[in-house]
Structure 1
Amino acid sequence: MAAPLIEESLEIAGTPAQVWSVVSDLQRMGEWSPQCKKMFVFGGPVKAGTRTANINRRGLLIWPTTAKVVTFEPNKQIAWKITENNTVWGFVLTETAGGVTVTHSRVAADGQTSALSSFLVDKVFGGNDSFEPELAAGMRETLGKIKLAVEG
C-alpha cells in the first residue's frame, strides 16, 4: 500500500504571483524535478483539463506517464492526476509574512495506486519503503530549485 500523502513545504521570498508563474509552468518541470525529466503540455496555456505527457527517469529506468490538470486556482494551487497510477501531484501556495509557503504533494487516495504501479514499485523500484522517501527527497529538491528560480 502506498502512503496516502507525501508532502514537503518550503518558504519562498516572493509574491504568490511570482511563485505561481514558476510552479504553473509545467513545461519547466524537468528543470526542477529529479524524476520528472520533461512535461509536454498540450492545448495551449495550462488550465483545468490540460493534458500532459511526461518522461520520468530513475537511474537507468525511463518511463512515460500522462496526466490531466485537475485543480487550477491561479496564485493558490495546481494539481495534476497521473493516468497510469491514479496519484495526484501538485503545489499549494500559502501567503505568509515572509513570502509564500509552497507545499508540494503526492496524494494516493486511500493509499491505493493502480495494480501496474504497485507491481512496478514493489518489483522494480525496491518497494514503498525505499521509493517513497526518495519521492519526498525529490520534492525537497524540486522546492529548492523553485526557490532559486523565484528568488534569483
Structure 2
Amino acid sequence: MTPPATGTPAILRVRAHILVAAAPGTVYDTVSDLTRSGEWSRECTGGRWVSGTPRTTGAVFRGENYRGADVVPWAPVVRGPWTTESEVVAAEPWRLFRWVVRDSAGRLQDSTWTYELQATAGGCLLVHHYRLGRPTEGLAKIFGRLGPDGRRRFTAAWNEKLADDVAASLSRIKRVIEGGVERAGGRAHGGERGGAGVPA
C-alpha cells in the first residue's frame, strides 16, 4: 500500500523544531518507538505494534488515545478514549520517520505525521510536522455537521491546537532524551546502532 498523493492542498498543517543535545541515532531510536508516545504526546497514551517489524516501513501501530472535554470544547470531536491504527511509510535511521493514519478498512488516509532529523554541532535538530490533505473518515463526519463558517472556525482552531501539541511534544521529547543521555566534556553521546557514526 502506498501513501496518498500529497498534491491536495492541506486542510491542516503544522510544523515545529527543536535542538536536542544528543546524537541523531539516539533521537531517532526514541521517536520511532511509537509505544513510548505517552511520554510526550498530549493525546496518545501509548499503544502496540500489531503487524510487521516494529519501526520499519509497513509496520502497523495501534495507538491508544485520550482527549478531555476541555480541548476545543465546542468542537464535535471524540472525547475520552479511542484508538487509531497507523502505518509506517518511511523509516530512514537517523534521518526520517513517517507514519500515516489508516481508515476503518485499513486504507491509508491523507493524514501524515513526520519526524525529520539533522545532525548539528551540538547534537540534533528534530523537526516534527503533521499534514492533513483530504478529510479523514472522522473529519468528514465532523464537517458534515458544520456549515461553511463552522468548518472554517474548526479548521483554524484545530490548527492552533495541533501547533500547540506538536510544540509540547518536542519540548517533552527533548527533556526525555537529554535526561537520559550520557555526557562527557559537555557533549552528548550515545545511541548509534552498531557504533555507526552520526551522518552529516
**TM-score relative to the length of structure 2:** 0.67
Note the 1:48-67 alignment, pairs <5 A.
Answer: 48-60=57-69, 61=79, 62-67=81-86
CA pair 122-132 structure 1, distance change in 2 beyond 3 A = farther
Matches within 5 A, 1:71-150: 71-84=90-103, 85-108=109-132, 111-120=133-142, 127-150=154-177
Distance 2:30 2:144 in 1: 33
Equivalent residues in 2 for 1:16-31, closer than 5 Å? 16-31=24-39
4+ residue runs of structure 1 moved beyond 6 angstroms? none
Residues 9, 102 of structure 1: 8 Å contact kept:
yes
Partner of 1:39: 47
State how far apart, in whole Å, the 1-side matches of 2:159 and 2:22 are.
29
Output the CA distance in 1 between the equivalents of 2:163 and 2:27. 20
Query: Gaps spanning 5+ residues in structure 1: where?
Result: none
Matched residue of 2:27: which SS?
helix
* Residues 121 and 128 in structure 1, CA contact (< 8 A), matched pair in contact too: no
Q: 1:55 to 1:25 in 2, by over 3 A?
A: same
Is the 1:39–1:54 contact (alpha carbons within 8 Å) kept by the matching residues of 2? yes
Q: Any gaps of 5 or more consecutive residues in structure 2?
A: 1-9, 70-78, 104-108, 180-200
Cα root mean square deviation, aligned: 2.2
The verdict on how the C-alpha distance between 1:145 and 1:30 changes in structure 2, with shifts beyond 3 A counting, is same
After TM superposition, the structure 1 stretch with the greater mean CA deviation from structure 2, 8-17 or 37-46, is 37-46
The alignment-based identity, stated in percent, is: 28
How does the TM-score come out when normalised to structure 1?
0.87
Which AA in structure 1 matches 2:86?
A
Q: Which one has a larger percent helix, Structure 1 or Structure 2?
A: 1
